[in-house]
Every structure is written in C-alpha cells, then in structure tokens.
Amino acid sequence: MESVQQPHRVRMTPGARRVLAAAERLFYERGIHAVGVDLIAAEAGVTKKTLYDRFGSKEQIVVEYLAGRDERWRERLAGHLEAVAGRGPDARIVAVFEASRAWALEYGRKGCSMINANAEIGDPSHPAHPVITGQKRWMLDLFTGLAREIEPAGADGLARTLMLLHEGALVAHGVGVFPDPFGQALEQVRHLLGNGAAATGGASLR
C-alpha cells in the first residue's frame, strides 16, 4: 500500500519545472484538450524546443501533471492523518474527508483533476489512464484498510460507501449544485460511524 514513488521519467530542470507548473494550472483551469503546447511554453517562459527536449510529448506532460497532483494530495493527506495519529480509525476516516474539504477549498475550484481527466481521455490506452485509475484504487484501498480496523467482516462494503460519498462530494463540488458538499459528506460519515458503521456487505438491516 506504500506508494512506490517511481522516479520521474523527466529531468526536472528549472525550465521543466516551470513548464509543469504552467501546465498544471492551465490543464486544471481550462481542460487538457483546450490547452495547447504553445500556450504552455509561453506561460512557462520557455521555447517549445525546451518543452519537447524535457517532456518529449504532450501526453507525457499530462502524465506528469496528474502524477504530480496525486503526489501533492497524498502528502497533504499524510499531514492530516498525522494530526490524528494515535486515535482510532473513525477519527482517521473523518480526517480524510476533512483533508479533501480543505484541498477542495484551496486547489479544487474545478473539481477533481482525475475525474476531469478521465472524462477527457476516453481512450484507456492513454498513458495517463493508469495514473487515474491507480489514484482511485489507492483511495479505495485506504478506506478499506481503515474500515477493516472497524469491522473486518463488512469492511469492503463500508469502504465502498465511503468511496461513493467521497467521489460524490468531489463531483458535487465541481458542478457546484449545492454549497460545501464535503461538509454534507462529513455529516453523513460521522453519522454512519456513530451508528456502528452503516450497511455492511450483506443484505442490510436488522
């Protein structure tokens, strides 16, 4: 479950760093297809030659964009989890949602970059596809591990419910249909955990 931090496929020179920073901002704000390499190079204050010398293709910039954002998210999440170290799995599950809420307020005006990229990249053979599915799988595994500490029997079911609430809050935030969806998710999560943990794997209720 430790992320295997594979080395960057890209030499991160100062120019490359500026390219990636510009690409992250532009891709997230306007979408991947809507942003061309000329614009990225111009915003980064770099020539296209430098851009292609470092990254080789636009696809690779997309991969680095998503992988980098995922990495920053995991670091951020780790900080929130450290803050409740020693406390039980309930507190850590709540901490995940609180981390997402803080992240969404700070970085997430346009929703989840992974969900958005998944919508733009129909083709599963795109090199960014594993980054996207890997990130979502990682989140599900995280929830599953925490759920197992609460009730090993129904852990998968609880984890999937948490995943639904989390993804739902991400997309609701992106569409903006009602305010503070993570607040709503948190309320529901606290309620589920307080009740002795929601629908388990089996055929529901007492």
Taking alpha carbons only, the member of 120, 114, 206 closest to residue 166 is 114
Residues 121-180 that bind its own copies (CB under 8 A): 121-123, 132-133, 136-137, 140, 157, 160-161, 163-172, 174-178
State in angstroms the smallest separation of the CB of 19 from DNA.
8
| Interface pick for its own copies out of 51, 118, 147, 150 (rule CB under 8 A) | 118
| Interface pick for DNA out of 8, 11, 87, 191 (rule CB under 7 A) | 11
Q: Would you state the structure tokens that stand for residue 58, as one six-digit string?
A: 């636009």
| Interface pick for DNA out of 1, 4, 6, 14 (rule CB under 7 A) | 14
- CB contact at 8 A, 110 and 116: yes
State in angstroms the smallest separation of the CB of 101 from its own copies.
13
- CB contact at 8 A, 102 and 79: no
Contacts of 63 (CB under 8 A, 6+ apart): 9, 127, 128, 131
Q: Binds 3, which of DNA, its own copies, none (CB < 5 to 8 A, cut-off by type)?
A: none
Burial of 49 (0-12, 13-18, 19+ CB in 10 A): exposed
State in angstroms the smallest separation of the CB of 89 from its own copies.
18
Contacts of 197 (CB under 8 A, 6+ apart): 147, 150, 151, 154, 158
Query: What gap in Å lies between CA 2 and CA 90, rounded to an integer?
Result: 21
- CB contact at 8 A, 109 and 159: no
Write the binding mask 23 to 62 for DNA: x where contact by CB under 7 A, - elsewhere.
------------xxxxx-----xxxxxx-xxx-xxxx---
State in angstroms the smallest separation of the CB of 79 from its own copies.
24
Residues forming the site for DNA (CB under 7 A): 11, 13-16, 35-39, 45-50, 52-54, 56-59
Residues forming the site for its own copies (CB under 8 A): 29-31, 33-34, 110-111, 114-123, 132-133, 136-137, 140, 157, 160-161, 163-172, 174-178, 181, 184-185, 187-188, 190-191, 194-195, 198-199, 204-206
